[in-house]
Amino acid sequence: MRIVVHGQQAFGKAVLEALIKRGEEVVAVYVAPEKPGAKIDPLKEAALAAKLPIYQPDSYKKPEVWAEFKALKPDLQVMAFVTLFVPEEFLNIPTKGSIQYHPSLLPAYRGASAINWPIIKGEKETGLSIFWPDNGLDTGAVLVQKKTPISGTDTLGTVYFDRLFPMGVDAMMESVDLVKAGKAPRIKQDESKATYEGRCGPDNARIDWGKPWEQIDRLIRGCNPAPGAWATINNIKLKIFDAKPLPAKDPKGIAGKIGEVVAVEADGFTVVCADGRFKVTRVQAEAGKVGGGEWAIAAKIEKGTRFS
């Protein structure tokens, strides 16, 4: 079966390498075009090492791009982290179609930030889907799904890198086997259960210390490492990556005002929220990530200073 791998970054590289290790017939690789001055994409690097033909069109809406793809005589397109829109004219060229990875349990959490939002919204479970893409946004029929729990300490990083990434590579291999055996299902998504969330960016990641601790905790974890939850103190935009919630037994008796720094210690600084406090232990201002206490001492954050 002639396979074309289409994707980018570390996940695309891992899928390509897994297919090659299994002895699959990978005939070409499609990679997102690099931005000026950017480092070479890891998938492109792996394709060069494997001496595979590489294609980097800036659009998949052009008939000449379709013709180039058709000339490869592909049987299956394996899409591992694809961000450019790919129309059905291109998707349907392989004789057995195209399959794509998405890091949520479709039809829930369609969209570009499918790992952030389940954590931010307090879901207890998430997962991944391998599906047959179409012209919609993550709307195609599902082939394989895998689930994973979300714990009270999970971050975007732990959910993705520790679980959804390796599980996704394995699920891709399982899906290729099902396609090859002619046993790959096409399970229609239930539109009544569909949800879509927009990209989780800086506007979504701003911390409101007047919110309950659980909500703030989920936001910080769901934005770690990207885009990074943040708040402003002394006119400094401070990204907060790790903070231990300290719920109050009696919220009415909390000493300190909302957003006030009530302690600065070597291992972190403590901030008041609506129903408790947070001990902030890892942050980033302009330079790299540092300990919360180290930053606060260097920035001369004194007890009584408030986040705006």
The answer as to whether 205 is a domain residue is: no
**What is the per-residue pLDDT for 81?**
93
> Is 151 within 8 Å of 84 (Cβ atoms)?
no
pLDDT at 254 over 80: no
**What is the per-residue pLDDT for 35?**
87
Q: Which tokens hold the place of 104? A: 């949520």
**What is the per-residue pLDDT for 53?**
98
Q: Same structural domain for residues 121 and 53? A: yes
**What is the per-residue pLDDT for 182?**
97
Q: Which tokens hold the place of 12? A: 């695309």
pLDDT at 127 over 80: yes
Domain end residue (candidates: 164, 193, 222): 193
Q: Same structural domain for residues 173 and 70? A: yes
Q: Same structural domain for residues 104 and 246? A: no
Q: Same structural domain for residues 72 and 106? A: yes
Pairing between β-strand 125-131 and β-strand 142-149 as defined by DSSP bridges: antiparallel
Candidates 109, 110, 69, 103; CA nearest to 86 is 69
The answer as to whether 308 is a domain residue is: no
Task: Compute the CA torsion angle 101, 106, 107, 111 (nearest 10 deg).
Answer: -50
Candidates 53, 88, 54, 72; CA nearest to 2 is 72
Q: Same structural domain for residues 236 and 133? A: no
Name the DSSP class of 73.
-
The answer as to whether 208 is a domain residue is: no
Among 134-148, 173-187, 251-265, 293-307, the minimum mean pLDDT is found in: 251-265
Q: Same structural domain for residues 57 and 154? A: yes
39-92 per-position pLDDT tens digit: 999 999 999 999 999 999 999 999 999 999 999 999 999 999 998 999 999 999
pLDDT at 26 over 80: yes
Whole-model pTM: value is 0.95
pLDDT band with cut points at 50, 70 and 90 for residue 97:
very high
Identity of the residue numbered 169:
V
Q: Same structural domain for residues 18 and 59? A: yes
DSSP for 253-271? G--S-TTBEEEEETTEEEE
Identity of the residue numbered 292:
G
| Range of the structural domain that residue 284 is part of | 213-298
Task: Enumerate residues 6+ apart whose C-beta is below 8 A from 296.
Answer: 261, 264, 268, 269, 280
Candidates 209, 211, 199; CA nearest to 117 is 199
Name the DSSP class of 69.
H
Q: How far apart are CA 71 and CA 195, in angstroms?
A: 38
Q: Same structural domain for residues 76 and 152? A: yes
Element (H, E) at 78: strand 76-80
pLDDT band with cut points at 50, 70 and 90 for residue 253:
low
pLDDT at 21 over 90: yes
CATH code, 140 = 3.40.50.170
pLDDT at 11 over 90: yes
145-197 per-position pLDDT tens digit: 999 999 999 999 999 999 999 999 999 999 999 999 999 999 999 999 999 99
Calculate mean pLDDT across residues 291-301: 97
Helix (H, G, I), strand (E, B) or coil at 172: helix
Task: Compute the CA torsion angle 275, 276, 282, 285 (nearest 10 deg).
Answer: 60
Q: Which tokens hold the place of 164? A: 């959804």
> Is 69 within 8 Å of 93 (Cβ atoms)?
yes
